[in-house]
Chain A
Amino acid sequence: MEHIGFGALSYDFAHLLGGVMLLLSFALLSQRRIAATIDTYALQALTLSIAACWQGYVQNEPSLYLTGAIAFAAKAVIIPLMLRRIVRRLHLSATMEPALGIFASMALGVALVALSIMVVLPTTIQAQALTREDLALALSVVLLGLLMMITRRTAFTQVIGFMSLENGLILAAVGVAGMPLVVELSVAVLVLVGVVVFRIFLRRMNVQFHSLDTAHFDRVGSTHR
């Protein structure tokens, strides 16, 4: 696997999948409608699971298939379904107001991608290209997820941003050769537990504040310093 480089199918396909994920991250950033956001997220998760499986094939590492399967089941299917149910049940409005304009967030996103490439490229001149490109893409996805969290007002979209961020993490993890299972396991734990917790929170927050706008919290907080 040390010989993978430009032109090799394995490399190109992995690269392509990473690129698709990054593209989907941008798509997430640009969405205004909740339903579309959830769909885009599901698509990204699907891409991730394919990428994981592909890496499992390339690296001949069966555990990665498992990772891909978990990602597919949890992130591409179950979580989006749950999110849709929440939206239905809570009668959330179909659109949401970004705190930062769409164009501005896209521009920032591009800058972040540039930054991640700038940081990663000198890193691995002597290392295999796979790692290098993959890392840059994963880092971009992580940073874009973070960007999404900070440019969206509602807790709901922050959660999606967070999960997109985690997609980036797993993309990085599966791209690394021979990473022990520990990481995948932990990611699975994180996703599962995280969603459970989110679920609790979303429910509770709604009970107590009748809205998912996080600005409510800040008003409460400001009176109790």
Chain B
Amino acid sequence: MTLPDWFDTVTLVPGIPLVGALLVAILRDSRIGAWVVIAATAAGFAAALRLPGQLGSGLFLLVDPLSAHLAILTAFIGLTTAVISRRFIAHELATGALDAGRVQSYHTLFLTFLGFMLLALLSNNLGVAWVALEAATISAVLVVGLPRTDEAVEASWKFFILCGVGIALALFGTVVMYLAALPALGPGYGAMTWTELTLAAPNCRATLLNLAFVFMLVGYGTKAGLVPLHSWMPDAHAEGPTPVSAVLAGSVLNVALLLIMRLRAVMAANAQAIDPGPPIMVLGLLSVLLAAFSLWGRRDVKRFFAFSSIEQSGLAAFAIGLGGVGATFAALLHMTVHTLCKAAVYQSVGAASQRKGGQKFTEITGMIASDPALGITLAAAIIAVAGLPPFGLFASEILILSETMRQTPWLVPLLAIGLLVGGWKLLARLITLCLGAPTQARGPAVGWTLLWPAWLHLVLAAILGFAMPATIAAWLLAAAKVAS
């Protein structure tokens, strides 16, 4: 079941985007660059689709249902976002928000970011995962700082300093984890490998495991945007180019949550170590509650949805903390569907803010009246994110709530308050964004044909929620078993 580690088709998944990044950097032509990005992400997605047939693990890479699932998802989001961003960036270029050099940097960084994300997802080695995540963070920081506005610079600074500290703490956790596994696995790569760690966890030093857990939780929790470690997220989402927000909301959170899941699995395998559930649940619950209440005062559309991402990420973390196959399954489903839906939201919000020439709520109203296609897409995406049928977040939220009811019923009211307060505001914002009298349009109109990626996401989200094929269900279940 071991893989040869390099030059394998698995390596193509992160490899193709990274090579594509190099290519774009060399080509120095933004228009061709955009097509290269699409081609690279498409090829990466195609390679990712083959992952389910290549289950196995090596020193550096690990393809199990969990990582394969999230890698396919990330590659898919990367592809659709690349399609959307070609048009988006062209418009930014036309309006002068970005110059040609920055556009080229954008394409390069986008692919770098995506490649390292995929690498982080597929890595079996804690160190590799860490390096990949770090590299992805840096490229994301640079992308966020691309627009030359004061706010963008501020946002990328906050992003960098917080994630930098977070990732540093995670590295410390990784060192301690290695130290904890030393007696069980001896020196060498084994003590840094998820698969080996999980197997050898009962023989690891419990107290060191605890220490490692704390540091990695804080480190990766920062990346997952868990309150109170989340401050970078609203700003980064609000100020960076919108297509990046779509990928940020989806993939970074997923990578961080995946690492937390794996960490949880290691911790849970050791009887002497502390129960990893409560701290994760507390952070998750805090995120749900605080983000929900914070939705109310927002004036900026993208920052608003960033808070919604924090809420959803918190919900997933909460479910991961609950533990058990059922809850982990729910968390996985939630992550998957949320990624799809939130990407659809950002894709349509991006188009809407370009159309209206601003991203304040006061600037974007009455979308359905002025641009029916865009307005309806946006409305559907918000409905999906708010957890209403026929979209999948509805299903995953039900699963999470009923798992909570089964395991810790006294937490249900808190969770429900968070969901209610958040969902209420989301839908109230649906009213102001999509309904009422439209504000004046300043940008290009967007028709149905340009919105197909968003609808593809929404349809997939609906299918996953209400008519999940048995094979995918079995596959997700296998993934959940890996992680719990």
Contact = CB atoms under 8 A, between A and B. Distances in A.
Contacts of B299: 224-225
- The contact size tier of chain A is 35 or more
B151 A224 contact: yes
B128 A182 contact: yes
Contacts of A185: 131
Contacts of A193: 134-135, 138
Interface string A137-179: 0110010001001000001001000100110110011001111
A180 B300 contact: no
B115 to A, nearest CB: 15
A166 B168 contact: yes
A124 B178 contact: no
A122 to B, nearest CB: 6
A208 B149 CA distance: 9
A149 B174 CA distance: 22
Given A124-B207, A177-B182, A197-B138, A205 B153 contact: yes
Nearest to B190: A180
A104 interface: no
Interface residues of B, number: 51
B175 A173 contact: yes
Contact of B188 (A126, A180, A189, A214): A180
A122 B179 contact: no
A178 B188 contact: yes
Given A176-B178, A177-B182, A220-B150, A225 B168 contact: no
DSSP majority for the A interface? Answer: helix
DSSP majority for the B interface? Answer: helix
B153 A123 contact: no
B131 A162 contact: no
Contact of B235 (A122, A180, A221): A221
A177 B188 CA distance: 9
B157 A119 contact: no
B175 A123 contact: no
Interface in A54-104: none
Nearest to B161: A158
B192 interface: yes
Given A201-B160, A220-B151, A186 B187 contact: no
A131 interface: yes
Contact of A186 (B134, B158, B183): B134
Contacts of A187: 171
A48 interface: no
Contacts of B188: 178, 180
A154 to B, nearest CB: 12
Nearest to A174: B175
A120 B138 CA distance: 31
Nearest to B154: A217
A169 B208 contact: no
Interface string A181-225: 011011101100110010001001100110000100100110011
Contacts of A173: 171, 175
B466 interface: no
Interface of B: 125, 127-128, 130-131, 134-135, 138, 141-142, 145, 150-151, 153-154, 156-158, 160-161, 164-165, 167-169, 171-172, 174-176, 178-179, 182-183, 186-189, 192, 205, 207-208, 210-211, 235, 238, 297-300, 303
13 contacts: A127-B208, A142-B169, A158-B161, A162-B165, A169-B172, A172-B172, A176-B182, A182-B127, A182-B192, A183-B174, A190-B171, A201-B157, A201-B160
Given A126-B205, A180-B127, 14 more contacts: A123-B207, A139-B172, A142-B172, A162-B165, A172-B176, A176-B182, A178-B182, A186-B130, A208-B150, A214-B157, A224-B151, A224-B299, A224-B300, A224-B303
